Amino acid sequence: EPRACGTGDPRGTGACHEPAPSLVDVAESSLLNKLIHTSLVESRHHVEILQKDPNSPLFSVKTFEELPLKKELLQGVYAMGFNRPSTIQETALPMMLAHPPQNLIAQSQSGTGKTAAFVLAMLSRVNGAEKYPQCLCLAPTYELALQIGHVIEKMGQFCADIRVTYAVQGNRVLPGALREEQIVIGTPGTMLDWCFKRRVVNMKRISLFVLDEADVMIDHQGFSYQSIRIQRALPRGCQMLLFSTTFKETVWNFAMKIVSNPIIIKLRQEELTLSNIRQYYFVCRNREEKYEALCNIYGSITIGQAMIFCQTRGSADWLLVKMSKDGHQVAMLTAELTIVQRANVIQRFRDGKEKVLITTNVCARGIDVAQVTIVVNFSLPVNQEKQLDFETYLHCIGQTGCFGKKGIAFNMVERQTTYLMHSIEEHFQTQIKRLDPDDMDELE
Ligand code: ADP
């Protein structure tokens, strides 16, 4: 029972040969990550600075007070419950708020504080007393634009005069009726329309341009072109900030087209490794036997929380019923759920309200669900050619054993697919021990 390869390659390693994921898929997982990262993702790494103008000194800050922020903004920061800048903010904020303005390209994983940083820059740069757009911000979808808007509202709650408007499909404007809001957030197509066709924004007066989720943007051919057209019409000296969660070659090329003379900062991601994850496999004849093996695992070790990956909605449903009947508190994550529903399921699981999370492959798409005690591959992630998707395997079982913790992963395979276990061993230079469902002493 092979599990289909998801979007395959959330970390940009090129290991999966599935068709490129659609904008919707990528934007969805991005939004989902935003919804589930309700607090900061800490990093053990330092910020790397890749390129900088030797004439501009760099400094980083440890407190928000050290930054040139208006009183109302500092109040907003504290109202959000922020005590000190995150790792990326320590370096990015002084650059973003510097005089003269500096251009910046910043890359770090979701949840590390990029949005909060550029929202602070936007609120800090615009003048609330002036009633015209001064800052443009591009995002790949309406939902993502709205997320940014929410952060602006919250962080800017004490900046009474600053207003936001959304250049998104369906938000109609009268041609020539100039907008009065200081910040315009929108998707590239509608933003282009507002700026060039409807002429409700005077581009010449824009002093800050922010492009968020550059890696999602470039998955949509039209978006890169439209973003570049907007950028070209901005006045000299307009500050440009570009953000991305990944840094593939293509993102890099795009970023360099959009942002001139940038400082580039990067925060390395916690590396997924298998070294602290014990891996086992069972050879089973059918899903009943797989289920027996699962019960034996529960009978032998104490399990805090478990994540179980299935190939199809059908087998996920089947397992859900089985486990619920056996008294487990089980939640399920499937593609049919809306983003908000999915975020809720993940949040509940993270809060420990359910001890088991069953998921179909939607979940493996670049989303960090939680740190769990065990991961079970009820079926292995393979692509249509029945080849193993190593990246997804790594990502799935990486949900256990994060941040140096010890994790355990179990794989259920049919006899004829046992060879897949060996290919994983070879690929990752690791060992996966076969377990006998009737003799779990090995697990001790
Ligand atoms: P990103 O844009 O990199 O995904 P966000 O800016 O959305 O990250 O931040 C992720 C979460 O962390 C949000 O819930 C945000 O409110 C919170 N956060 C951001 N900066 C800080 C900070 N300095 N201190 C505490 N929490 C923060």
Please indicate whether residue 266, judged by its CB atom, sits closer than 6 Å to ligand 1: no
Which atom of ligand 1 lies closest to the CA of 119? 6
User: CA 92 to CA 114: how far, in whole Å?
Assistant: 9
Compute the distance from residue 114 Cα to the ligand 1 centre, in Å.
Answer: 7
Q: How many helices (H) and strands (E) does the chain have?
A: 14, 15
Map residue 93 onto helix, strand or coil.
helix
Compute the distance from residue 82 Cα to the ligand 1 centre, in Å.
Answer: 8
Please indicate whether residue 379, judged by its CB atom, sits closer than 6 Å to ligand 1: no
Cβ contacts of 196 within 8 Å, gap of 6 or more: 229, 233
User: CA 96 to CA 121: how far, in whole Å?
Assistant: 6
pLDDT, position 288: 94
For residue 381, what is the DSSP state?
B
Cβ contacts of 365 within 8 Å, gap of 6 or more: 6, 7, 10, 21, 25, 29
Amino acid at 64: F
pLDDT, position 8: 32
Q: How many CB atoms lie within 10 A of CB 45?
A: 13
Compute the distance from residue 85 Cα to the ligand 1 centre, in Å.
Answer: 9
Compute the distance from residue 197 Cα to the ligand 1 centre, in Å.
Answer: 36
Length of the chain: 444
Q: How many CB atoms lie within 10 A of CB 75?
A: 15
Structural element, H or E, at residue 309: strand 306-309
State which of 115, 123, 143 you would mutate to test the pocket of ligand 1, scoring each by most atoms of that ligand within 8 A of its C-beta: 115
Among 394, 390, 367, which Cα is nearest to 16's?
390
For residue 194, what is the DSSP state?
I
Query: 255, 209 in Cβ contact below 8 A?
Result: no
User: CA 337 to CA 321: how far, in whole Å?
Assistant: 18
pLDDT, position 343: 86
Phi-psi bin for 152: left (phi > 0), alpha (psi -120 to 50), beta? alpha
pLDDT, position 407: 85
pLDDT, position 42: 76
Amino acid at 293: A
pLDDT, position 325: 96
Joined tokens for residue 199: 């002429």
User: CA 366 to CA 269: how far, in whole Å?
Assistant: 13
Q: Is this complex's ipTM strictly greater than 0.85?
A: yes
Give rounded-to-5 percent helix, strand, coil for the chain.
40, 20, 45
Report, as ranges of residue numbers, the positions in the chain whose pLDDT lies below 70: 1-24, 52-57, 270-272, 361-367, 370, 401-405, 444
pLDDT, position 53: 65
Q: What pLDDT digit, counting tens, does each position of 353-398 carry?
A: 999 999 886 565 666 776 788 999 998 887 777 778 888 888 788 7
pLDDT, position 394: 83
User: CA 45 to CA 238: how far, in whole Å?
Assistant: 31
User: CA 269 to CA 246: how far, in whole Å?
Assistant: 9
Please indicate whether residue 39, judged by its CB atom, sits closer than 6 Å to ligand 1: yes
pLDDT, position 363: 61
Structural element, H or E, at residue 74: helix 71-79
Please indicate whether residue 221, judged by its CB atom, sits closer than 6 Å to ligand 1: no
pLDDT, position 390: 84
Q: How far is CA 40 from the centre of its chain?
A: 12
Compute the distance from residue 226 Cα to the ligand 1 centre, in Å.
Answer: 28
